Structure 1
Amino acid sequence: MCMPSSSSPRWWSMFDPRTSYGRIYLCLLALRCFSALFGYGYIHPDEWMQSGETYFWLSLANSDAQLTWEWQPNHALRSLSVLLMQYVAVEPMLKIRRLLGGPLTGHSLFLIQRINMLLWSLVLDISIVFFLPPQTTRYVHYLFGISTAATTFLVRPFSNSHEAYLLAFCLLLVANRFKSPTWYQCDRPALPHWGILVGLFAVDGFFMRFTFAIFALPLAAFVFYRHVRLAIQGHPRTALISLSIAITIAIAFFGLRIETETSFYTRLAKMNCMELATFWRTKWVVPPVNALLYNVKTDNVAQHGLHPRWLHAVVNFPMMVGAANCIVVVIQGYLFVRDKVGPSTDIQTAASQEVVEEQEQERKEVERPMDGTTACQVASTSSKPEQACIDEQVAWVDIEATIVALSLWIVVLSLAMLSMSPHQEARFLLALAFPSTIVMAYALQSRFFTHRVRLMRTLCVLHVVQHVVQLVLFSFLHQAALLPTVFSIDTSLSRLTRHADPLLERYEHHLLYRTFSVPFHMLPNKGTAMLPHVEQYDSTYSASKLVYMASIACDHTWIYAPTWVVNHLHAEAHSQQTVDLVQVALFPWHLDLDHLAQTWATTNSVPVTEAFAIQKLHVRCKPNESSQHHISAQTQQDPRKSQSHQDL
């Protein structure tokens, strides 16, 4: 890359607690780590069902993980090869965990996956240091570090999270590569490396989610435009070589991904005697194309929920990137358009030139190396004076004009295209968090905001407050008792003997009712045998049906259900007169937004901590009818005792 010698401070300076920058960054990093390792909030089932459930179904022996419908060969909507790339650090951490000894637990699998995503976030943080000027790097680290995207979504193994990382890497690479009009004269050996990285990230992003193509469309158009412009300027050979490298590498990676997916899904289809979702009646399986064809049908997405088409722009985008960030993006977009298409006067031109010169001077002062070395001194060491002059000029070209324009185009175009779909969830816009932060980071350094101190402070306070509230909501409250419940079940299963008669020693049933999808890969102690038994029942099962099924193996069965539905279970148990449901444990801080009204209604009869919780109910058998007659005959001389038994 063509990087100025003085533009990038040592990357580890961000971890230096002796500076205010280092201290603030470390605090934000600690907050992110705390959210990742101790935030049991369960945002959406796809958090685990599109990633960990499939990964450990393949890699973990004796796992009871389940392959979700998206991974079935007759659908083939997800990419195995990119999932392995996303989970690149999981297998080494599993080996380390085994070396430490002791059985593998559900909680350890949870931590391993979260740490893996934390490592991806650190790679992005360090990349920012290398590609952006120091002052802008600080702004991005502060604004992005406190955002809901960084503290909550990107530390979870969503497919959207990996898509967002890949888009951020592509944006940094493309903007830095083409920031100068003379980019082709700088660092010629970097051409293959640049092509390899961009090609790999672009292909992986597309195979992770087909929406990556929408997010990356402005980047692809910009790369093509710069190469065409270079050819027109009299350098067709250089333009052809550079573009050919990127395209060739992208095609090679694309072919490798198709080969991997075809092999995986073909074996899976043969094992399960299922049809294979191939590409246009060929033998090849292309998951992103299958996903696109599935999502363009309204009947398909209607099964997951239909939303108004304004939801992304009005609700989801402000929630994901922040209301303050939205305001800044709108203002910056207006100023960008005004400067491009509006009439300019001599006064405006002079003022604009003054701003540019002032920002250039500020940037040079910030980027001056601590050892006193200047770019001119570095350039003077070049063996060719004319090349040294070029290097010096290129070194001081700021990335702002390129990366801000690209970020604005990504936000506007992607938001418009994704809003055409009738199925809209906030996490679908996760990839826009980083580009919008780039816009905000540069905007807050501009004269428009620095001359409006009160506005800038208000926006910063709003940004922090909103994202802290959302952090608490999504990381620590939303469906937050389900994972501790699963860990508790796994601990209970680990205490069962593995060598005795399973009908006598492993006869244990755990039934989960009216919760999010259970990530069964976090029950490594269950094994693949029928017993012990762990099942989940959704709203299609009535409380009456659940109590009846639980009564079949009473005394060996536990029900886990949110408090708002427990009263219905007690009523059915009383009606059927076969079992008693006894609360033996409570998993608090469980916020179910889909049933908030029902949950709040229970606070009239139970404490708030119990109302917002999942209860563990032991299903205890009542004496059967013959036992009642036997006890009644023995106690017929004591009516009071008999009545007491009947009441029981």
Structure 2
Amino acid sequence: MPPNSSSKWSAFDPRTRWGKVYLALLLLRCYSAFFGYGYIHPDEWMQSGEAYFGFTLPGNDARIPWEWRPDQALRSFSSLRFQYIFVDFLLYLFKKFSVPLSGYNLFLIQRTCMLLWTLSLDAYILDLPPRTARYVFCLFNISTAATTFLVRPFSNSHEANIVATCLMSTLSFYRNRTWYRPSGPGWNYGILLPAILAVEGLFNRFTFAIFSLPIGIFIAYTHIRIAKEGYLKQAFTSFTIAMVIALAALYHTVESETKFYTRSANINGLEVAKFSGSNWVIPPVNALLYNVKTENVAQHGLHPRWLHGLVNLPMMVGIANCVVMVIYGWQFVRGLWTSSVVKSSTRDSPARSTDAGPSDLGRSKEEEEEEEQKEIEQAIEASLVESAVTTNSSASASAFAAPARARARATTISSPDTNTPNPSSATEIDIEYVDIEPVAVGLCLTIIVFSLAILSISPHQEPRFLLALAFPSTIIMAYALQSPFFKLRPYFVRTLILIHILQHILQLVVFSFLHQGGLLPTLFSIDRSMSLLPTYGDPLFTRYQHHLLYRTFSVPFHFLPHKGRHTFPRVQHYDSSTTPENLVRLASISCNHTAIYAPTWIVPRLENFASLQDTVTLVKSHTFAWHIDLDHLHQYWIGATYQRSNLSFAIQKLDVTCKVVSQHVSDFNHKMQAEKQQDPTLAHKEL
């Protein structure tokens, strides 16, 4: 449909209704980013901040994951630097304004970086027609993808941002029909962005090649179409420039990865996982070779191959999106099939090829041109009337002044001379509007169906693997809600919108605020506690702390920057392989300097074993509320039956006090008090 005459930036104007909706959803996204302590998956931090600050922040006691070992080389540091492109600048601002680099500040820096990436995607959405862009803003910005996943430093989040940006750049490239005209530059600078991002996305995750393959094929097809229209030189120049840029970016990235892993191997005395006996290190190839082996992915969990299609896709993109994609996708494919059948039957019709004379052909062509001209005029006038209703009176006055110019432009567009353009002699035509709906919907459907089919082959399937499909599915839904089928069914549409909102709000609460939501506040508290330790004094009594974290997700140690400032504080993490008995024994070693942090449901077992050993006392000193582990949800609910929810769904801090030491101290104090009463001079000497 033609766009209305309102400015595309009006979607951000808080004075308009749509601008207020966007502002509210943006505030929700910011709140989720800065106050959502939910910890969705260990890869959220272990593949991003843990590695980045472990390599770049001096003195940070991060634990580098095994994927970054030189003999594995499954991750790309160049891609991680690009993902964290705003982090160095934010660190500079913190240093310039003398803000201490605490664990909480590192959290804010990373979330701010990812939030800025989402804002850049918002700007690209404005390339869509205004009404469609407003639909996309509302549908996508309320989704779990935008409010929960994209503001977190997942590699999947970075991949989804790149796929969405490449998709929007491709649609803009398709809509621009002036760059290859005689008065145009002869090549489209917009093609450079997908070329560069293609390399970045590939090194970020090898699955990017699956999501972006339909986009790459469409770009190549568009160049072929332009060449067939008579603009061979322009098409060849544009495609060549894009390929040269992509190859240059590929060479630079491979060279950077090779130097990075070779230097790391030399320092640690390890081998380097090189590509096919060469001297190059290509992480996405290593990651692909690792993931194609079932015994490797079995270590991370095996799933049925229908899980992506029946569970993960509805969870990640939304149930309503899936319903709309099935209905509108079927209508779209059926329409393409019907159109192709009609065209082929018309082309092969004997009456059209033999019975019709030249005059008949001429008259039919003129009739078609007149009909096309009328359709264009009606569409433009309808859009102008629509824009006049939605804008203020001053804008309406200027909007109704355009029909005469629009008719003149429509007449020029439908001119017979434009059917067979000649680059050397054809008159330049300024095409103001190109309907991108068929291309946008078809391309998004292809991305979703193709990617879902390929990714379902793997036996290891997680919902976040489909995060990149959230944006294409939203574009389909935005166009579908404007189609006659859905416009004629308002109750059905309202039901879908209600389901869409409720599902994503529920998932926002669970994943952004509750799931493992107490672990990060626990780490921030430990970091503050260590920051209060003196930098001098007796290492045993004044500079020592022992923190034991039990039965939580993997601990991102880069959130403890103050640990690197002291030699003696210890922070250790224990999983289910350590029994409660052993944990209590470990805690009893460093008396009165140890704290245990554990979910509420396991605390009674720890207290029970502590009482049986009769060596330590566990005292609850702090509660980090709203912490849920979905694997032990039943235990949490049992605890909620006899105590408040904020205590049941929480991490408890247990201070460890040794009974033996306490008893000796008490006996010593009683003895000294008795001696003072018997000999008053002893007290005088002590003074």
Q: Matched residues in 2 for 1:506 and 1:632: separation?
A: 26
Gap change, CA 1:376 and 1:595, over 3 Å in 2: farther
Counterpart selection for 2:197 from 170, 187, 201: 201
Which residue, out of 427, 450, 453, partners 1:416? 453
Structure 1 position 160, deviation (Å): 0.5
Distance 1:405 1:101, change over 3 A: same
| 1:502 aligned counterpart, secondary structure | coil
Q: Does residue 249 of the first structure (1) align with residue 245 of the second (2)?
A: yes
Deviates more, 1:180-189 or 1:52-61: 180-189
Q: Distance in 2 between matches of 1:356 and 1:443?
A: 22
CA distance in 1: counterparts of 2:322 and 2:451, whole angstroms = 14
Q: Deviations over 1:489-509 (max 9, x none)?
A: 011011111133433321100
2:123 matched residue in structure 1: 126
The equivalent of 2:558 in structure 1 is 521
Matched, 1:40 2:1: no
Shift, 1:528, TM fit: 6.0
Matched, 1:270 2:266: yes
1:512-571 CA deviation, whole Å, 9 max, x = no partner? 000011111111111165411111111111111111111110200000000111111112
SS for the counterpart of 1:527 is helix
Q: Aligned match of 2:92 in 77, 90, 95?
A: 95
Q: How does 1:310-325 map onto structure 2 within 5 Å?
A: 310-325=306-321
Change (3 A) 1:357 1:421: farther
Tell me if structure 2 keeps the 8 A contact 1:375–1:395: no
Query: Which one of 530, 533, 538 corresponds to residue 570 of structure 2?
Result: 533
| Equivalent position of 1:153 in the other structure | 149
| Shift of residue 359, structure 1, vs aligned partner | 6.5
Q: SS state of the match for residue 191, structure 1?
A: coil
Q: TM-score, normalised by structure 1?
A: 0.90
Q: Deviations over 1:392-421 (max 9, x none)?
A: 3x3211221111111110011101111111
User: Counterpart of 1:397 in 2: which secondary structure?
Assistant: coil
What is the distance in 1 between the residues matched to 2:609 and 2:475?
56
CA distance in 2: counterparts of 1:185 and 1:587, whole angstroms: 64
**Alpha-carbon separation, structure 2, partners of 1:401 and 1:357:** 21
Indicate yes or no: 2:81 matched with 1:81. Answer: no
The aligned amino acid for 2:627 is H
Is 2:36–2:513's contact at 8 Å kept on the other side of the alignment? yes
1:503 maps to a residue whose letter is L
* Contact 2:179–2:187 (Cα < 8 Å) also in 1: no
Query: 2:57 — aligned with what?
Result: 60
Give the C-alpha shift of residue 437 in structure 1: 0.3
Pick one of 9, 12, 16 that aligns with 2:13.
16
Distance 1:550-1:155 versus aligned 2 partners, 3 A rule: same
Q: Secondary structure at the match of 1:225?
A: helix
1:480 is matched with 517
Give 2:679's aligned residue. none
Q: SS of the counterpart of 2:635? A: helix
Match of 2:294 in 1: 298
Report the 3-state secondary structure (helix = DSSP H, G, I; strand = E; otherwise coil) of the residue aligned with 1:74.
coil
Kept after mapping to 1: 8 A contact 2:599/2:652 = yes
Percent identical: 53
Counterpart of 2:283 (choices 284, 287, 302) is 287
- Structure 1 residue 577: Cα displacement: 1.8
The residue that corresponds to 2:358 in the other structure is none
Q: C-alpha distance in 2, partners of 1:281/1:9?
A: 56
Please give the per-residue CA displacement for 1:323-370, whole angstroms capped at 9, x wherever unaligned.
Answer: 001001111110111112247679xx99x9999997766556567894
- Change in Cα spacing, 1:269 to 1:448, as seen in structure 2 (3 Å) is same
Note if contact 2:147-2:508 (Cα within 8 Å) is conserved in structure 1: yes
Q: Using the TM superposition, name which of 96-105 and 195-204 deviates more.
A: 96-105
SS of 1:184 mapped into structure 2: coil
Taking the TM superposition and a 5 Å limit, the aligned residue runs for 1:599-638 are: 599-623=636-660, 627=664
> How many matched pairs?
623
What is the CA distance between 1:233 and its match in structure 2?
4.1
Aligned counterparts of 1:246 and 1:608: Cα–Cα separation in 2: 57
Amino acid across the alignment from 2:86 = A
Residue type matched to 2:272 in 1?
A: L
Is the Cα contact below 8 Å between 1:147 and 1:321 reproduced in 2?
A: yes
1:430 deviation in Å?
0.5
- How many angstroms apart in 1 are the aligned matches of 2:78 and 2:176? 35
> Within the alignment, does 1:220 sit opposite 2:220 as a pair?
no
The answer on 1:467 being equivalent to 2:507 is: no
Q: Which amino acid is the alignment partner of residue 498 of structure 1?
A: T
Aligned partners of 1:195 and 1:249 also within 8 Å: no
Which of the pair has more CA radius of gyration?
A: 2
Work out the CA distance in 2 between the residues paired with 1:506 and 1:374. Answer: 77
The 1:187–1:421 alpha-carbon spacing in structure 2 relative to 1, beyond 3 Å, is: farther
Flag the 1:357–1:141 CA change in 2: closer, same or farther, 3 A.
Answer: farther
> What secondary structure, in the 3-state scheme, does the structure 1 residue paired with 2:71 have?
coil
Q: 1:504 to 1:627 in 2, by over 3 A?
A: closer
CA distance in 2, matches of 1:388, 1:52: 56
CA contact (8 A) 2:380 2:403 kept: no
Aligned AA (1:95) = Y
CA–CA separation in structure 2 for the residues paired with 1:152 and 1:570 = 36
**Map of 2:364 onto structure 1:** none
